[in-house]
Copies of this chain bind each other. A is one copy, B any other.
Amino acid sequence: MSSDLKQRIIGRVQSDVAAVETALHDNLGAHLPIVSDVAGHILFSGGKRLRPLLMVLSARLCGYAGGREIFFSTVFEYLHTATLLHDDLVDGASLRRGRTAAHTLYGNETAVLVGDFLLARSLTIAAETGMTDVIKVIAGITENMSQGEIHQLTQKKNLELSEAEYLEIIRRKTAVLMEGACRVGALISRADEARTAALTAYGHHLGLAFQMADDLLDYTADTAALGKSVGADLREGKLTLPVIRALSAAGKEDREQMARIITDDDFSDDDFHALVRLLDANGGIDGTRAAAESHVAAAKNELSVFEASPGRSILEDIADYALTRKH
């Protein structure tokens, strides 16, 4: 079923993805080969192009016929790539999509500056829309993402992190980008307020579901499938929903054992597996999956302002995919 869903999505979007790939190459606009190389290392390493697709599909659903949706959509992949470059550096991550992270390969300096270039590039393309409400959405995404990351940094290894604060962090660092992509799709189509709000809310819930699924995979996937190290969140001191839910449900003994592993800077593989069992036993895994499912349902529900159509069902499929993917 999961594999059917993936095939169905791929069948529907592959020509758009190919067009986005071409546009990402064409619009990079770097003056220096090193900038193209570093940006290309991460831009062309097998990303799903989910964010540009969300914009393109949202625009289509709103009847956009301006012909520039592929061009505009590159904004969201450049933005996403810029934040990956900076976040991998911030997190000290050594792998990204199964490849050596750019900051390790090219140095922190270059990763910072190429990230800045990609941020700027995305805003230059945003300005091409000539719509200041679009530009504000895109600048606002970057404000939110940087603050979400900083918020997460300040909460490292904080065993008291509440679910509400976790939600606020993932909203800013992940959901605003998907929300913004869907919203911009509606805005460039000059969709009415109800449809614009519905697509915005769809992107918001989708983003939360994706991040929760990501946070779950960090405890349940294996490194080969994930393309980055399993247990990376824990190693970086990031407390995510599986941990927050389990800590809050656990009795004293389990809680103390979890706390010991979480706060240990040098936990072993055995410790990690013990933690995963404790998360599972205390509802952290199931609880997170259920929370993600509820956001998938909410995302799909928002689409009910649109009549049933292939354009609506592909967005519904993408919401379902948030939970079934393996990486």
Contacts and interface: CB of A to CB of B under 8 A. Distances in A.
Interface of A: 29-32, 34-35, 83, 86, 89-90, 108-110, 112-117, 119-121, 123-124, 126-128, 130, 132, 135-136, 138-143, 145-147, 149-151, 153-154
17 contacts: A29-B143, A32-B147, A34-B154, A35-B150, A86-B113, A90-B109, A90-B112, A108-B108, A110-B153, A112-B115, A116-B119, A119-B120, A120-B142, A120-B146, A123-B123, A123-B138, A132-B135
Contact of A143 (B124, B128, B142, B143): B124
A206 to B, nearest CB: 22
Instruction: Summarize A's interface: helix, strand, loop or mixed.
Output: helix
A273 to B, nearest CB: 29
A109 B153 contact: yes
Which 8 A-B pairs have CB atoms at the shortest separation, nearest pair first?
A: A120-B142, A123-B139, A116-B146, A90-B109, A117-B146, A124-B139, A120-B143, A127-B135
Contacts of A30: 147
Contacts of A136: 124, 127-128
B132 A130 contact: yes
